[in-house]
Structure 1
Amino acid sequence: MTTALNTMQPARLAIFIALALAGVSPTLYASETFNTELVELDNPGMGKADLSAFESGSQAPGTYHVDIILDDRLLETRDIRFMAVKDANGSGTLQPCLSIGQLKAWGVKTALFPQLDAGEGECADLRAIPQASADFQFGAQRLAISIPQAAIDLPARGYVPPDMWDEGITAAMLNYSLSGANSRARSGAGTRSDSQYANLRPGINVGPWRLRNYTTWSRDASGQDKWDNVYTLMQRAIIPLQAQLTLGDSSAPADVFDSMPFRGVQLASDDDMLPDSLKGYAPVVRGIARTNAQVVVRQNGYQIYQSYVAPGAFEIADMYPTGGAGDLDVTIVEADGSEQHFTLPYASLPVLQREGRLKYALTAGQYRSYNRSVEKTPFGQLTGIYGLPHGITLYGGVQGADKYQSAALGMGKNMGDLGAVSADVTLGWSTPEHTAKTNGQSWRARYSKNFITTGTNFSIAGYRYSTRGYYGMQDVLGSYGDSSALQDRRRNRAELTMSQTLGDNLGALTLSAAREDYWNDGKSMASWSVGYSNYWHNISYGLTWTYSKNVRSASENRKSQKNADHDQLLAFNVSIPLDKFLPQTWANYGMNASSNNGTTHNVGLNGVALENRALSWNVQQGYGTEGVGNTGNVNADYKGTYGEVTAGYGYDKNSERLNYGLQGGILAHADGITLSQPLGETSVLIKAPGAYYVDIRNQPGVRTDFRGYTVVSNLSVYRKNDLTLDPETMPDDVELEINTRTVTPTRGAVVRADYLPKSGRRVLMTLTDNDRAVPFGAVVALVGDESGSFIVGDRGQVYLTGMREQGTLVATWGSQSSQQCRADFTLPNHSTYGGIADMHTTCRQER
C-alpha cells in the first residue's frame, strides 16, 4: 500500500467522518453547516463540490431497499422509490412514493381519506391524513411512517398481508433418502445379510399448484424388493377461503373423527394462514433402545421413516410430512432380532377456536387402504369447528358410505383457571362384511391445562369409551377384503401426558400413561413412563422409568400366551460438556436396566466439528449383562452444500453392522439445476450469481455452490423469513449492498431470493488532473454501470468495488459541465494490500 493511504489530514478526516455519519442518526434536530471552502484548500483550481445535499442530511432521489416501520412495528422490507420535495421550511427532503394499495395493505383506513388520491399519479398524498408523516432515515435504510391510531386498523401480531405471500417459481424437485446396512454374524460361518431402503419424493410447482409423490423402495436380507407408493397428490392454497385444496391421496383430518385415508378431493382450513397470535403438530417419537437398533415408523400401514440409533434414549423429530394424520406405529428392532412396539397418537388438543373462527374440512373420495385387497369404497365426510362467545367451541361432523353412516357432535369450553375441556359423542350405523347391521356410540372427553403457579402442564388427558355395537368407518370399510380388520375393536382408552417443573435449579418431572382394552378376547395394553431431568453447571442429566404390559388374545391357539408381556425399564443418562479441553464436545454416560433383558452401560463422546457445525459425530462403548457382553458404535453425519451423508459402525458379541446413508435434494429451475440438502415442504432458492461458496447464516452446512446458488428449506409458511448471506465468507472480488432478503412463501412453494452481488475488483484510486485532486465529496460513476456510485474522499481518493479490468469513470461535483471529469483506467495485474488495488489515474475535465 502506498503512502497515499496514510496521508489523510486529521481535520479533513473529521469532516469526512461527520458527513458519513450525518445520515445515520434518525434524531438530528439542528441543521449542521460548515464552510465548504475548507475542502478546496489543496486544489483551488478544481473548484469545490456541491455538498448542500449532505448538509441537510438528504440523498439523491431514487429507489432504495428499506425497512418499513409503521408506528414502531416492522411491516416489511422492500424497494421504495423516493422523490425530492420541499418541506414546510423550504428545505429539500426525500419522501416515499407509496400507493393507496400499499397503505391499505398496511392497515391504513384509506376509505376515510379520499384526498389520498391527489390525481398526481401512483403516489398517495400522505398530507391528506392529519398528523401523518414519513421520515426516511438513510443511514439505517429505514422508512419510519407515523399515522394516528384512529386512521389504522391494527392487525393481529404476526399478521402478513396476503398480497405479500409468494406462490414461488416454476420448479421441479426430487428429494431422496438412500440408506442401507451390511451385517455379518460373528460366529459360525459369519453369515452376511444386506438391506437397503430408498425414499423418493419428486414434485413439480407451477404457479399455485404443487404436484407431489412419495415412493419408497426396500430390499430385505433375502434380496426381495418392495415398492410402495405412499401417495400422489396435487395441492394448492385457496387464499380467500384460508384453505388448502387437495386432489389425490391424503387423509381426512382427525380433529372430530378418526383419520381416514382417501383418494379423492378435500377442501380443508389451513390454520397456518392465520397469524401466530390467532392460531389455536408434527409428532416427536421418543423411545429407549437396548442395543444398536433400527427404528421403523409406519403410518396407515406405510413405512414412512427408518433410522439407526445407538443404545439409550433417542428422539426423532425430523420425519417428513405424509399428507395427513393417523397414529404412528413405531418398531424398534434390536441387534439380537427382538422387537419393541408402541403406538404414538397423532392428534392434538384442544379443539377450541377463537370467537367467530370456522375451521372446516370437506372430503369426498374412495377409501384408500394399505391392503390392496380391500375394496375402494366411496365415502364422504364433512366436519366443522366453530368458535362461539364465552370461550365455547361447537364441533361436529357427518360421515357417509354405502355400508356406514355416522354423526358426531361435541363442545369445548375454555374454563379459565380450570383449564380447557371438550366432550363429544359419535353415533354410528354400520354393516361390516359377514356381520349383521349394528349401531352404537363412542363417547370421548379430553382435558388440557397449564397451571402456571405450580408449573404443572397437562398436555393431554383423554378418555374414550365405545359400546359393543360401535365401529369406526375405517374398521367397517376395511373389513371388505381384510378379515383381520375387526380383530382389534377398542372398548376403552385412557391417556395422560403431563409435566411438572420443580422450581429454580430443581429440574422437571414428566409423566405419560396410556391404557386401552378391546372387545375381542380380552386383549389389553397399558404403559407408564415417569421421567426427571435437570441441569447443573451445564451438565445435563435425566432418569426415566417405563412400565409396559401387553395382554394378548386368549384364543384357542394362544391361551398359554395370555399375560405374557411385562417389562420395566430404568434409564439414566448424563452429558458433560468438554469445552475446556475439546471445543464443541460432550462426554456422556447411559445406563438401561430391564426386568426382562438385564442391564447395559454405555459411555461415549459426541460433538460437532468443521465450519458452520457441518459435521456431527459420536462414539460409544458399552457392556451388558444377561449375555450381552461388549458393544460399541461410531456414527457421523456430514451436512454439505450438495447433500447429507451419514455412516456408522456397530458391533456386539453376535454381529457387526455397517450402515450408511445419503440424502439430499435436486431442484430444477429456470436458472439451471441446484443440488442441496434435503428439501423441506417449503423452500427458497438463493440466487446470488458470482457469490460462490458463501455460508447462509444459521443454516449448518448450507452455502452457495460454485455458481452462487443454493436452497434453504423448512421455511415458515405465510410468515416472513430472513435469509442472510454471511459477508465474512464472501469472495474478495464480490460485494453485496444487501446481504439479507425477506421472503413470505405459501405452503409448498419454492420462492426465490434475488441478491445483487457485484463481481469485480476492489480499487483505491486517486483521481487528479494536472496534480490537482478531484474535489472532496465528488460523485464517481462507472460508465455503462448504473448499479451504484462512489464518493471521493480526501486528496482525490475514492474506494471502488466491482470494477472491470478497464473502463471509464465520470466524476461530478456540481451541475455545470465544467464540474465533471472523465478518467480512462486499466487496473494493475496485482492487488497491493488485502485484495485491494492501489493506483493513480488522470481525470480530465470537460473543456
Structure 2
Amino acid sequence: MSFAMANEIVSAAEVYFDPKMIEVHSPGVAADLSIFNRGDKAQLPGIYNVEAYVNKQKVKKIALRFINAKEGTLQPVFTPEILKSLGVNTLAFTALQGNDKRELTEPLNVVIPFATAQFTFTTLRLDLSIPQAALVRQAQDYIDPQRWDDGIPVFFTSYNFSGASQRQEQGDDESSQYLNLQNGLNFGAWRLRNYSTYSASSEQHHWDNIESYAERDIKSLEARLLAGQGMTQGDLFNSLQFTGGEFYSDDAMLPNSQRGFAPVVRGEASTNAEVTIKQNGYLIAQRYVAPGPFVIDDLYPSSWSGDLDVIIKEADGSTHKFTQPFSSVPIMQRQGHLKYNAVFGRYRAADSKDKQPLFGELAVIYGASNWITPYAGTRFSDKYLALLSGLGITLSEMGSVSLDVTHARATLYEGERSEGSSWRAQYSKSLAASDTSISIGGYRYSSSGYYDFDEANHRNDDENQWQYDHKRSKFQISVQQALFSAVNFYFSAFQQNYWNSTAQSRNYMAGFNTSIASVNYSLSYSASKLEDGDSDNQLAFNVRVPLNKWLPHSWATYAYTRQKDQGAIQQTGLSGTAFADNRMSYSLQQSLSSDNQNLGTSTYAAYRSKYGNVNAGYYRQRDNVQLSYGLSGGLFIHEKGVTLSQPPGESFALIDASGASGVRVKNIPGVETDWRGFAVIPYLTSYNENRIAIDTKHLPDDVEIVQTAQEVVPTKGALVAVRFKSFQGARALVHLQREDGSPVPFGAGVVADGTSEESIVDDGGIVYLSGLKQGEPTQLSVKWGNAASQQCRAWVTVSSESSGVLSLTVPCH
C-alpha cells in the first residue's frame, strides 16, 4: 500500500485526511484512505443501485457495476441491454451489436461518440449526456413496456359489508344488510372478474350478479380485449351494457405526457436553443433542441384551452416568439393519435321486458392535425342502424367546438319503422384574462323519427304512451370562474325535453367556495325537476374551521340547509383524524331545526387496519335510534398463502418483508406487514412508476431493512410482488478488541455468520450490527488485510430478553 505523506500538496477539489490520525488506538496500523480523499470523484468499486438520468430526465433505477478508472474515479460498466433500456438506439452503433449481456469496460464516449457519464456517489445519481441522434425518440416519462409487470397468480375478493338496525318507540324495528363483492383471478396477463351484490331486509333478501368478464391487455397495440359482460366505451354513442366481446384502445397505456389533447409544437432553431412554452402565464415545458427544425409532441394536457406562448432563446442570447393556438373539447385527440373501439354482443337492458338483441358497434377518432379531429361510428342490430360522423375543430382564440350528426333507422317494438337524425354541438373555451373556463357547453336536437338504441328496444306497457320517453333536445353547460385568486365560482345547467310531451327534466346548480385564514367556506344552490313532474331545490352553506392549535388534525364544522317544503336545518360538529398515521377518523354532529328543536345527534368512527377497515355510527332522534356498522377489505390467496388487506383498488402490490412483522408503509395509513411478513398495498396506478417505501421511523426494534424503497410498474389489475430483504434479530454496537486489548483497526470489514452483508468498523473499533440471533452465539469474521495477522474471529451472544440497541465489548481472536 502507498500512504499519503503529510506534506503532500492537495488540490482544492480534494478532501484530505491524514491516515496517521487513526493510529491513536492502533499504533503502526492504519488503513489506506487515499481513495476517499477525492469525495464524490472516487469510491470503492462494486455494484450500486443508482438513479439513472439521461439528458437531465429521470429514466429508471438500476443496479450497475462500477470499476476503478483513472485517478481512482468510478466508471459505470454498461451492457448493450442496459443502454437499450435507457433509450439508446443500440442498432446505430457497431460496438453495441452482438451479445446484449456482455459488459463494456471502456468509457461511454468510446462506445457512443460525445456521450458522457457522471456519477454522484453521495446521492447515487448517474447523469448521462447522450446526443439526441443516439437515442430512440420517445415521449417524456415514457416507460419501456418491458418493465410493465403482469404480476403473480392470485385469487382475491374485495368486500364491502354494511348494515343498520333501527328501533322506534312507535312502530316495528327494522334492519338491513348489504354486501358488495368484487372477485378476481389473475394468471399471466389475463384478468377474470366478477361483481356481485347481496341485500337483505326485514322483508326480503336476494343475490344479484352484476357482471362477469375476462380481460387482458394487448401491449403491442396499447389496447384491451374483453370477453363477457361489460359496458361500451361511450365516446361517441351512449354507453350500453352487453354480453359479448370488446376490443378498444386504452389511453392509460400511454405515457402521461401523451394522454389527453395537447397540440404539436413545431419550430426552427438557428443554434443549440432553449425552447420555453407557457400557457396562461405559467411555464408548462422547457426543452433544449439542436439547430434546425424541431418538433415537441409530448406536452402534458394542462387545461381544456389557453393558447401556448413559445419562446426560442438562441445560444447567442437572441429570442423569437410565436403563439400556438390551443383549445379542446373532450373529443379532440393529439395529432397522429388513433382512438377506437369495436363491440359485438347481446344488449343487456336494465328492464327485462325490453328487447335484448345482438348488436355491434364501431367507433374511430383520429387526430388529423392540431386543429381538426374527425370521428365516425356505427351501431347496428337486425332492426336498428345508426351512422355517426363529426369533427372536432380548434377555433384559435374563439375556443373549440365539435359538431356531429347521427342518422338512425329503427324498427320499434310494435313493428313500426322510424327514421331520423340527431345533431349535436359541444363547445369549450378558457378566457385567461378573466380566469373563466367554459368546460363544456353542449346542445343536441333529435328529429321526431330519431331513436337511440335503448329507446328503440324499450317496451312501454301503455301502447298509447309509446313515444313519451322519446328525447327531443338536450342542453347542458358548465362554467367555472376564479375571483380575486381566492374564490372559485361554478355554475352548471341541464335540461332535456321529449317529443309528444310537455314533460321536462332539468337541473341547475350554482355556488362558490373559498378559504380565508385557513377557514373554508362554501355556498351552493340547486334546483331540479324530474320527468314525472316532481321538483326540488336546496340551499346549503358550510364552514370548516381547523383546530390544530388545540386538537391536532381536527376541524369544527357548521352547516345550514334549507329544502323545498321543509324548514331550515343547522348542524354543528367536530371531525378529525387520530393516531400518528391518521388511520382513524371520527365525527360528532348535532342537528337543530329552525325552531331550535333537537332533530338528532350522530357519532361516527372509522378505523383502517392492516386486515381491513371497520366503521360504526350511532344516530338518535327523539324516539328513533339507529345503529350502523360496516366492514370492508380484501382477501388475497397467492402462492405464499393468504393475506388480508384494506379495500383494494384496480392494481395492487404484495409486500414480502422476509418474515418481518409490523413493518409499516409510507403514506398509506394502517398498512403494515402481518405476522408472516406480508402486506398488500391496496392501490397503485397502472402503467406508471409507483414508489413503495418502508416507513423506517416506525420499524420494530428487531427489524432492519436493507433497501427501503422500490419502484414497480403494474399492468391493469396486476398484483405485483415486492420483496424487501430484512434482518430480524437484535441490534448492537459491538466494540471489537484484539488479543492485546487494542481495538480492531478502522475500516476493517465484519461479516456475521449466515449473512453476506459486510459492515465497517469505525475509528474506535466499534461496528454496528443488526439481525443478531438471540439466545445463541453469532460468529463474526473480521478482516482488515490478507495476512493471517490481519484477520480475527469473534462470538457475540445476545440475551433473548434484550431489546433496543445494545452496547457490547467482545474479544476478537
TM-score scaled to structure 2, two decimals?
Answer: 0.85
Residues in 2 aligned to 1:741 and 1:759: alpha-carbon distance in whole angstroms:
20
Structure 1 pair 745/29, CA: closer, same or farther in 2 (3 Å)?
farther
Matches within 5 A, 1:275-314: 275-280=255-260
Q: Partner residue of 2:730?
A: 761
Deviations 1:267-312 (A, max 9, x none): 111101111221119xxxxxxxxxxxxxxxxxxxxxxxxxxxxxxx
Residues in 2 aligned to 1:413 and 1:141: alpha-carbon distance in whole angstroms:
48
Residues in 2 aligned to 1:417 and 1:204: alpha-carbon distance in whole angstroms:
50
* Mean Cα deviation higher: 455-464 or 368-377: 368-377
Residue identity over aligned pairs, in percent, reads 37
Matches within 5 A, 1:76-91: 76-80=60-64, 82-87=65-70, 91=71
Contact kept, 8 Å, 2:48 with 2:66, in 1: the verdict is no
The Cα RMSD (Å) is: 2.5
| SS of corresponding position for 1:111 | helix
Structure 1 pair 384/676, CA: closer, same or farther in 2 (3 Å)?
same
Contact kept, 8 Å, 2:45 with 2:68, in 1: the verdict is no
Q: Partner residue of 1:287?
A: none
Q: Partner residue of 2:124?
A: 141
User: Cα offset for 1:627?
Assistant: 11
Equivalent residue in structure 2 for 1:48, among 30, 48, 52: 30
| SS of corresponding position for 1:65 | strand
Equivalent residue in structure 2 for 1:262, among 242, 262, 286: 242
User: Cα offset for 1:453?
Assistant: 2.1
Q: Partner residue of 1:457?
A: 437
Q: Partner residue of 1:391?
A: 371
Q: Partner residue of 2:717?
A: 748
| SS of corresponding position for 1:474 | helix
Matches within 5 A, 1:151-190: 151-153=134-136, 155-186=138-169, 188=170, 190=171
| SS of corresponding position for 1:230 | strand
Q: Partner residue of 1:687?
A: 656
User: Cα offset for 1:220?
Assistant: 2.8
Amino acid at match of 1:671: K
Amino acid at match of 1:74: K
Structure 1 pair 681/486, CA: closer, same or farther in 2 (3 Å)?
farther
| SS of corresponding position for 2:87 | coil
Structure 1 pair 487/755, CA: closer, same or farther in 2 (3 Å)?
farther
Deviations 1:822-846 (A, max 9, x none): 2233335565xx72222222222xx
Contact kept, 8 Å, 2:329 with 2:392, in 1: the verdict is no
Matched, 1:826 2:808: no
Deviations 1:756-783 (A, max 9, x none): 1111221211222222322111111123
Contact kept, 8 Å, 2:498 with 2:504, in 1: the verdict is yes
Structure 1 pair 110/442, CA: closer, same or farther in 2 (3 Å)?
same
Deviations 1:324-346 (A, max 9, x none): xxxxxxxxxxxxxxxxxxxxxxx
Matched, 1:488 2:469: yes
User: Cα offset for 1:567?
Assistant: 3.1
Q: Partner residue of 1:321?
A: none
Matches within 5 A, 1:242-641: 242-280=222-260, 349-479=329-459, 487-505=468-486, 507-550=487-530, 552=532, 565-625=534-594, 630-641=599-610
User: Cα offset for 1:56?
Assistant: 5.0
User: Cα offset for 1:466?
Assistant: 1.0
User: Cα offset for 1:262?
Assistant: 0.8
Q: Partner residue of 1:65?
A: 49
Unaligned runs of 5+ in 2: 5-10, 262-327
* Mean Cα deviation higher: 147-156 or 685-694: 147-156
Equivalent residue in structure 1 for 2:75, among 95, 110, 118: 95
Amino acid at match of 1:198: L
Contact kept, 8 Å, 1:440 with 1:470, in 2: the verdict is yes
Q: Partner residue of 1:559?
A: none
* Mean Cα deviation higher: 225-234 or 757-766: 757-766
Higher RCO, 1 vs 2 (CA within 8 Å, ≥6 residues apart): 1
Equivalent residue in structure 1 for 2:693, among 718, 724, 727: 724
**Count of aligned pairs:** 729
Q: Partner residue of 2:268?
A: none
Matched, 1:129 2:112: yes
User: Cα offset for 1:640?
Assistant: 1.2
Residues in 1 aligned to 2:562 and 2:655: alpha-carbon distance in whole angstroms:
49
Contact kept, 8 Å, 2:91 with 2:97, in 1: the verdict is no
User: Cα offset for 1:469?
Assistant: 0.8
| SS of corresponding position for 1:426 | strand
Contact kept, 8 Å, 1:172 with 1:204, in 2: the verdict is yes
Contact kept, 8 Å, 1:475 with 1:485, in 2: the verdict is no
Deviations 1:467-502 (A, max 9, x none): 111111122234499989965221111011111110
Structure 1 pair 613/669, CA: closer, same or farther in 2 (3 Å)?
same
User: Cα offset for 1:580?
Assistant: 2.0
Contact kept, 8 Å, 1:823 with 1:841, in 2: the verdict is yes
Matched, 1:780 2:746: no
Q: Partner residue of 1:220?
A: 201
TM-score scaled to structure 1, two decimals?
Answer: 0.82
Q: Partner residue of 2:184?
A: 203
Residues in 1 aligned to 2:400 and 2:430: alpha-carbon distance in whole angstroms:
9
Residues in 1 aligned to 2:580 and 2:18: alpha-carbon distance in whole angstroms:
51
Residues in 1 aligned to 2:804 and 2:540: alpha-carbon distance in whole angstroms:
57
User: Cα offset for 1:394?
Assistant: 0.7
Equivalent residue in structure 2 for 1:660, among 629, 639, 642: 629
Contact kept, 8 Å, 2:329 with 2:401, in 1: the verdict is no
| SS of corresponding position for 2:122 | helix
Amino acid at match of 2:60: E
Deviations 1:785-819 (A, max 9, x none): 11x11111123221112223422222222233442
Amino acid at match of 2:121: F
Equivalent residue in structure 1 for 2:785, among 814, 818, 826: 814
| SS of corresponding position for 2:234 | coil
Deviations 1:125-182 (A, max 9, x none): 5221123233333332222222233423453232211111111111110100111111
Contact kept, 8 Å, 1:50 with 1:813, in 2: the verdict is no
| SS of corresponding position for 2:30 | coil
Structure 1 pair 231/118, CA: closer, same or farther in 2 (3 Å)?
closer
Amino acid at match of 2:36: F
Amino acid at match of 1:136: F
User: Cα offset for 1:590?
Assistant: 1.1
Amino acid at match of 1:770: D
Residues in 1 aligned to 2:250 and 2:620: alpha-carbon distance in whole angstroms:
47
Q: Partner residue of 2:270?
A: none
Equivalent residue in structure 1 for 2:761, among 792, 806, 811: 792
Unaligned runs of 5+ in 1: 1-14, 16-27, 282-347, 553-563
User: Cα offset for 1:210?
Assistant: 0.6
Q: Partner residue of 1:192?
A: 173
Residues in 1 aligned to 2:340 and 2:140: alpha-carbon distance in whole angstroms:
24
Residues in 2 aligned to 1:631 and 1:826: alpha-carbon distance in whole angstroms:
63
Contact kept, 8 Å, 1:66 with 1:77, in 2: the verdict is yes
Contact kept, 8 Å, 2:575 with 2:588, in 1: the verdict is yes
Contact kept, 8 Å, 1:423 with 1:446, in 2: the verdict is yes
* Mean Cα deviation higher: 36-45 or 361-370: 36-45
* Mean Cα deviation higher: 272-281 or 635-644: 272-281
Residues in 1 aligned to 2:795 and 2:598: alpha-carbon distance in whole angstroms:
80
| SS of corresponding position for 1:795 | coil
Residues in 2 aligned to 1:194 and 1:41: alpha-carbon distance in whole angstroms:
80
Residues in 2 aligned to 1:56 and 1:814: alpha-carbon distance in whole angstroms:
23
Q: Partner residue of 1:308?
A: none
Contact kept, 8 Å, 1:373 with 1:481, in 2: the verdict is no
